[in-house]
A and B are shown apart, each in its own frame.
Chain A
Amino acid sequence: MAKEKEKNQEQKTETVKVQNKNKKVVSYNKWGIIFLLPFVIVYLVFQLIPLVSTIVYSFFEYYDDGLDMVGPNFKAFGNYIKLFANKDLFVYAGNTLIMWIMGFIPQIIISLLLAAWFSDPRLRLKAAGFFKTVIYLPNLIMASAFAMLFFTLFSKTGPVNSILMDLGLFSEEYAFLDHEWSTRGLVAFMNFLMWFGNTTILLMAGMMGIDPALFEAAEVDGATSTQVFFRISLPLLRPILVYVLITSLIGGLQMFDVPQILTKGTGNPLMGSNLTTMTLIMNLNRHLSVSKNYGMAGTLSVLLFIITAILSFIVFKVSTRKD
C-alpha cells in the first residue's frame, strides 16, 4: 500500500513539473507560503527560539548576583542533579495536582449537569442565554484581581469571618489562610469558579453535536433521562471530555496567579517541612523574580514540559482506547 502511494505521488509530481514547463497552469504555491509566513515568523521568534533557549540554558549556571551576572557557565546536568537532590520538587508537583483535582472534579460535574440542562430542549429553560453569559463572567475577571478579592474576603478581620461570627457559626475568627486545607480549598474553589463556565460551553457544543435522532429513539424506547445521559450523551461526548481534561490538566500544571497572589508568593502555610500551596510555576517564579536564575528556571521548565507531555500522552491513550 505505502509503496503504491509513493509511486502515485511521484507520478503526480512529475506531471506537475511537466505542466509547469509548459506554463499552461498558474501555480498558486507561492500564495500558500506567503500566507503561512506571518505565522511561521511569529512562531520562530516568540515560540521556537525561546523554547530552544530555555532548553539550552537548563544546562548552564546563569543568574544575577546583585548587579553582577554569573555565567552562563556550562554545567551539563548540574542543575538537574540539584533539582532532584531534594524532595521539594515532588511536594510542589503534589500541591499542584491536589489543588487541580480539588477544583476539577466539581468543575466537570457541575459543567456536565449544566450542559445537559442547557442542551435539553424538553426542559424549555427560560433566559438560557443570560445564564450562559453569567456563568462565563468569572472567567473575564483577571485571576490576580480575583485572588486579591478573595484574600480580602477571607482575611482574619474580613467580611466572611464577620458574617460567620454574626451568624454564630464561629466563636472566634478563623484564619483561612493559615491552614493547609482551607487555603488549598480556596485556590481550588477560585479555579473552579473561573473555569466551570468555559467548560460548560465546550461540553454544550459537544452535546449539541450529538444526533437528535438518537435521543428521540431513546425516548421512544422509554429510556429515563438518567439512562439517556449515561448511555448516550456521555459516551458520545468522549472526544470533547478528553479535550477538556487535557487542556485543564495542562492549565492546572501551570497554576500560578491564583495561589501566588493569595499567599503573597510564599506558598504558605508551611506544614511540617512542606509548603502546602507552592505550585511548580510559583517555584519557577521564585527562581526568576530576584536572581533571574535562567539556568535553574530553564531546568524546571524542561521538566514541566516533559511531565506535561507524559501526562497528556497517558490521558490521551487511556481515553481513546477501543472498548
Chain B
Amino acid sequence: MEHIVIIGNGISGVTLARHIRKLSDNKITIISAESDYFFSRTALMYVYMGHMKFEHTQPYENWFWKKNRIDLVNGFVEKVATDSKKLTLKDGSTITYDKLVIATGSKPNKFGWPGQDLKGVQGLYSKQDLELLEKNAPNNEVCNRAVIVGGGLIGIEMAEMLRSRKIPVTFLVREKSFWNGVLPEGESAMINEHILEHHIDLRLDTNLKEILSDETGRARAIVTDKGDTIECNVVGLTAGVTPNIDFLKESGIALGRGVKVNRFLETSAEDVYAIGDCAEQHEGIGSRRPIEAVWYTGRMMGEALAQTLCDNPRKYNPGHWFNSAKFLDIEYQTYGWVFSERSKEDHEYHFHWRHAKEKICITIAYHIDTMKFLGINTFGIRMRHEIFDQWLTANKDIDHVMTYLKDANFDPEFYKLYEAEIVNKYNADFKKNIRLEKKSWKRIFSKA
C-alpha cells in the first residue's frame, strides 16, 4: 500500500483521489490551504449572486471523505523535497509520500500594473477571493463602481456578479471585440451587444495603465491607455490565470510556466506528477495548448493519472475538444475546434447563422478542401455532446452535420427549433439542396 499525497483539492485532485480509491486501497491524503472540503470553483459566482450558499458548491457531503478513506489536511505546502520524498507545511509539520501529485491550479495574472496591490484590487479565483469581494463590494453604496480588467470568461462572470447587486461596472477589454482571440467575429459581436444590454460599460480596445490610490492605500480610480480616468472602489483583475507553482521554485522539479509533464503526467522528478491547470505539457496535444486551464481537462487528467498510479499506466489522451461557458444570459457550448479569425489556419472556413432577433447563433467550422466538419460553436442552443463526438470521430462532412442537425439538438422540450432556418441559410450560402432529416432515437443512441 502506497501513500499518495495530492496537493490541491480542486476538481483535478479530487477526481484523482476518487478514482484511486475506486481502483486501489492506497492511502490517500489531500492537502489544501484554500478550503477544508472540495467545492466547485465554477460555482463561486453563484454564491455572491445569491443563487446558492457556499455549502451548495460542495459536491460531496462532509462524511464522504472519511467514508472513502481520503484524508484531508488543511495546510499550505511550503517545501517539496523530492529526494527524501518529504513535504514541509507552513506550520512546520512534515508529510512523507510515496507518490506526490501536484494539482495546485492557477492564480490570477498580474502584469505589473502600477497600483495592482492596492486595497480593493483583486482577482476572482479562490474561495478567499470570493470572501474578499463580499467585503470589497457588498452593495452599491460601499462600491459605487467597479472596473474589471481583462475580457475573458472570469471577467464577464465578475461583471455579471457585480451587476446582480446593481453595482455599476466598467469592463476594460484589450481586444477590439470581446474574447475575439477565441470566438469568431459574429459571435464576439453578439456578446458585445449582450454585455451592453446588461448595462455594463464595455470599453473595447482599452488597456489598464495604472490604478490610483487614495490616502488610505485603497484604489480610488484607474487610468486607461486612452487617457481616461475612471473613479471606482473595486478593480477586478481578470486577465487570465497562471499556474500556481511558486512553492516549487526550490524543489528542482522542471518548471516552465507550469509544472512540466509528459503524456503520463510525470514531472522531471521521480514519483512526482502534476495535473490540472498547473500542469504544462512539453508540447500541446493536437490543437490544445500546453497548459489547459479548463475544468474538464483537469477532471480528465485526474481520471487518467488514477489509472497510472494504480499500476495501469495510461497516457493523458483527451478526445475531441469540448468546452462550455455562459455569458450573462447566453449559454455557449463548443465541440471540436472553431478558431477565431485571428488564429485559424487557411483551410478552416466558417458557416455562420444568427437569429434575426434573439441572441442565438451558431458557427460551424469546416475544411475548405474536404468539407470535413471541424467543430461547432453554439450560442443559445444546447447541443448533444455525444452526437458531435461521434461525428468528429467518424470524420463526417458538414453536409452530414446539416442533414442530421435535429439529432444534435439538446434544448428542453417544446423549445422553438431553428434547424430548418439554419439549413435554409446553409443551402442558400452554399447553393446546396440539403434536406433536413427527422430526429431519430436510433441514430442518437447508436454508437458510431
Asked if A pairs with B, the answer is no
